[in-house]
C-alpha cells in the first residue's frame, strides 16, 4: 500500500509530466504528520503522569510500559537498554515536547499545542534547577547524576522543547529560563584553554571528563542556538552570536578530518579514527556541515559558507546509494542509514536544493525510501527498515517531525507552493517570525482562533530561502 500511495504523491504539481520523478508536494508532508506521525503521539498514554511528564519508553502500539508485564518488544529490548527501562530521560521529554510543537506548527492542532506547553511547564517546574542546570535522568524520583556529571549534550537537548515553544509563542518566562540554561552551559563547561565545551565536569557513568566530543559543541547549535539567536533582544543576541561563532570555529578547526570532508565524532583515546568509531557516520558529518552552513549564512561568514557547502556536497555524494532502491548509507560502503541519519541527510539535501537545484535529484530517490522504510503503518516511525522500537531513551520522533517540517518548507518552495505555519501569538507578531531555520521574502499572517489566552495565527510564506544576517 505504501508504494501505491507514494507513486501517486510523486507528481508534485499539475505541470509535471507523467512518469517524471518529482519530490512530494508540501501537502504530502502535512498528510504524513496528521495521519502517520501525530496519532502515535496523541495517544493517551503518551501524555504522561502528571500531564507533560512524557514517558521515555512506550510500546510500539503506543501504550504505556508496564514494568511488571512489559510488552513483547520491550521485554526483548537489547541488553544495553534493559537497565534503563525504569528511568526517565529529560532529553527525551524535551524531544517529545518538540514533537508536539511541530505538530501544532504544521497543522494548527490545539491539543498538540496544549501538550507542548505541558511539556515545557513540567520541565521548568520539576527538572530545571535554580543555578541553571537541568536534571538529565530520573530514577525512582531522584536525579541519577550530580550537576557536574551531566553531559553538555543532555543539557543542550533539555533546551529543545522550550526553544521551539518560545519560537511558537514568544513566552517571556520561557525565554528567561532558556537564557539561564545557556549561560550555565557556557559558564560551567567552556574550556577557555582548549576552546571547546567539555563533555562532563565530573566522573560518572556518563564519562571520565577527558572526552573530546563533537556533539558537545554541535548539539548546542541544532537544539536551540540556531533557532533562537536571530529572535533574541540585545544584549543577548550579540553574546549568543559570538558564542555561536566560537562553536563553529571549534567544530571546523578541531573535528574536521585533515584529508577529506568528514568530521571526527570524538578526538579522545586511541581508537577514534576508524569509520566504525563513535559518531564517525555520515549523519553526524551531514549535520555538522548543515549546521555550520546555516549558521555561517546567518552570521555572514562567507568563507565558511563556501567551505560548508563544498563539504555538504561531498558528503551527500559519498552517502548516496545509487544502486538498487537508493537512499542513504551510514558509512562508506556500509549499511543503509538509520532513521535519524537518514533524516539529517535529507534535511541537508533539501536545504542545499534551495540554492543548488541539482540536489533535488537526491530527494526524488530518498524521499520515497523514507516513507517506505521508516514510517510505520500503525503510526510513528521505526529506527531501521520497518522494524525496531519506536520510542526509547535515544529514539523519539524529534528527527521525524523536524524532517517533516524541513521537507514541507523546502518542498513548498521547490514546487512553487505556499507554505503555511501556525503560531500562538498575535498576527502582527507572527508575521515577523521567519520559518524555522529559513527565511521568506513574503509573509502574510492572519488570526484564525484562540487557545486559552493566546491568539492562534496562520502565516503564509513564499520565496523561502536560507536565512541571512539580520
- Cα pseudo-dihedral 152, 93, 295, 272, rounded to 10: 50
The pLDDT value given to residue 19: 36
360 shares a domain with 428: no
| Domain identity same for 223 and 327 | no
Tens digits of per-residue pLDDT, 113-156?
A: 999 999 999 999 999 999 999 999 999 999 999 999 999 999 99
Closest by Cα among 406, 440, 436 to 422: 436
Q: Which positions ≥6 away from 31 have C-beta within 8 Å?
A: none
Last residue of a domain, one of 192, 220, 255: 255
278 shares a domain with 240: no
Please check whether residues 295 and 279 belong to one and the same domain. yes
Q: Identify whether 460 is part of a domain.
A: yes
- Both 199 and 173 in a single domain? yes
- What residue has cell string 567544530? 251
294 and 186 part of one domain: no
What mean pLDDT do residues 285-298 have?
Answer: 98
- How far is C-alpha 338 from the geometric centre of its chain's CA atoms? 15
Q: Is residue 386 part of a domain?
A: yes
**Which domain, by its residues, includes 11?**
1-42+256-417
267 and 372 share one domain: yes
Q: Which of 396, 417, 438 is the last residue of a domain?
A: 417
C-alpha cell at 443: 509573509
- Span between the terminal Cα atoms of the chain, in Å: 46
Q: Same domain for 405 and 470?
A: no
Residue 188 lies in a domain: yes
**77: in domain:** no
Same domain, 319 and 181: no
* pLDDT, position 20: 55
Q: Are residues 267 and 251 in the same domain?
A: no
pTM of the model: 0.95
pLDDT of residue 324: 84
Q: Say how far apart CA 123 and CA 93 lie, in whole Å.
A: 8
Pair 271, 277: CB distance under 8 Å: yes
Q: How many Cα atoms are found within 13 Å in the side-chain-facing hemisphere of 111?
A: 9
Three-state DSSP at 411 gives helix
CATH number at residue 248: 1.50.10.10
Q: What is the mean pLDDT of residues 291-309?
A: 98
Paired with 263 in beta bridges are: 256
469 vs 222, higher pLDDT:
222
Check whether residue 245 and residue 127 sit in a common domain: yes
pLDDT at 17: 33
In a domain, 54, yes or no: no
Instruction: Give residue-wise pLDDT tens across range 180-216.
Output: 999 999 999 999 999 999 999 999 999 999 999 999 9
Residue finishing a domain among 196, 223, 255: 255
Q: Are residues 228 and 102 in the same domain?
A: yes
pLDDT band of 15, cuts 50, 70, 90: very low
Domain assignment of residue 70, yes or no:
no
Q: State pLDDT tens for residues 227-250.
A: 999 999 999 999 999 999 999 999
Does any domain span residue 106? yes
In this model, does residue 13 exceed pLDDT 90? no
Work out how many domains the chain is built from and give that number.
Answer: 3
Residue 60 domain flag:
no
Amino acid at each position: 500500500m505504501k508504494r501505491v500511495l507514494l507513486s501517486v504523491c510523486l507528481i508534485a504539481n499539475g505541470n509535471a509530466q507523467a512518469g517524471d520523478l518529482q519530490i512530494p508536494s508540501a501537502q504530502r508532508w502535512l498528510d504524513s504528520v496528521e495521519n502517520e506521525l501525530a496519532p502515535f503521539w496523541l495517544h493517551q498514554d503518551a501524555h504522561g503522569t502528571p500531564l507533560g511528564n512524557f514517558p521515555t519508553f512506550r510500546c510500539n502500539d503506543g501504550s504505556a510500559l508496564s514494568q511488571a508485564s512489559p510488552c513483547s518488544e520491550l521485554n526483548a529490548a537489547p541488553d544495553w537498554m534493559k537497565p534503563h527501562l525504569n528511568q526517565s530521560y529529560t532529553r527525551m521529554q524535551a524531544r517529545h515536547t518538540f514533537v508536539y510543537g511541530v505538530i501544532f506548527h504544521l497543522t494548527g492542532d490545539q491539543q498538540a499545542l496544549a501538550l507542548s506547553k505541558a511539556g515545557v511547564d513540567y520541565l521548568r517546574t520539576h527538572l530545571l534547577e535554580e543555578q541553571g542546570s537541568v536534571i538529565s535522568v530520573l530514577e525512582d524520583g531522584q536525579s541519577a547524576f550530580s550537576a557536574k556529571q551531566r553531559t553538555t549534550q543532555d543539557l543542550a537537548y533539555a533546551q529543545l522543547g522550550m526553544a521551539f515553544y518560545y519560537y511558537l509563542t514568544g513566552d517571556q518566562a520561557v525565554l528567561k529560563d532558556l537564557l539561564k540554561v545557556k549561560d550555565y552551559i557556557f559558564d560551567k563547561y567552556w574550556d577557555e584553554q582548549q576552546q571547546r565545551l567539555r563533555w562532563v565536569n565530573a566522573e560518572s557513568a556518563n564519562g571520565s571528563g577527558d572526552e573530546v566530543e563533537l556533539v558537545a559543541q554541535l548539539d548546542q547549535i541544532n537544539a536551540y542556538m540556531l533557532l533562537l539567536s536571530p529572535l533574541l533582544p540585545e544584549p543577548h543576541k550579540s553574546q549568543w552570536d559570538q558564542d555561536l561563532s566560537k562553536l563553529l570555529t571549534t567544530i571546523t578547526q578541531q573535528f574536521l578530518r585533515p584529508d577529506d570532508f568528514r568530521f571526527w565524532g570524538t578526538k579522545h583515546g586511541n581508537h577514534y579514527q576508524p569509520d566504525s568509531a563513535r559518531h564517525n557516520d555520515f549523519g553526524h558529518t551531514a549535520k555538522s556541515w548543515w549546521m555550520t552552513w546555516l549558521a555561517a549564512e546567518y552570521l555572514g561568514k562567507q568563507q565558511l559558507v563556501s567551505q560548508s557547502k563544498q563539504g555538504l556536497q561531498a558528503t551527500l555524494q559519498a552517502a548516496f546509494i545509487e544502486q538498487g532502491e537508493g537512499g542513504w548509507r551510514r558509512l562508506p560502503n556500509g549499511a543503509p542509514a538509520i532513521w535519524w541519519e537518514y533524516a539529517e541527510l535529507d534535511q541537508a539535501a533539501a536545504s542545499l536544493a534551495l540554492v543548488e537545484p541539482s540536489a533535488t535529484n537526491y530527494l526524488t530517490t530518498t524521499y520515497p525510501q523514507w516513507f517506505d522504510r521508516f514510517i510505520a503503518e500503525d503510526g510513528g516511525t521505526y529506527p531501521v527498515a520497518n522494524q525496531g522500537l519506536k520510542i526509547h531513551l535515544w529514539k523519539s520522533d524529534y528527527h521525524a517531525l523536524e524532517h517533516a517540517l524541513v521537507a514541507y518548507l523546502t518542498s513548498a518552495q521547490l514546487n512553487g507552493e505556499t507554505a503555511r505555519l501556525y503560531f500562538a501569538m498575535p498576527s502582527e507578531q507572527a508575521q515577523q517570525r521567519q520559518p524555522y531555520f529559513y527565511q521568506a521574502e513574503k509573509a502574510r499572517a492572519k488570526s484564525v482562533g484562540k487557545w486559552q489566552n493566546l491568539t492562534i495565527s496562520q502565516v503564509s510564506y513564499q520565496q523561502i530561502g536560507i536565512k541571512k544576517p539580520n
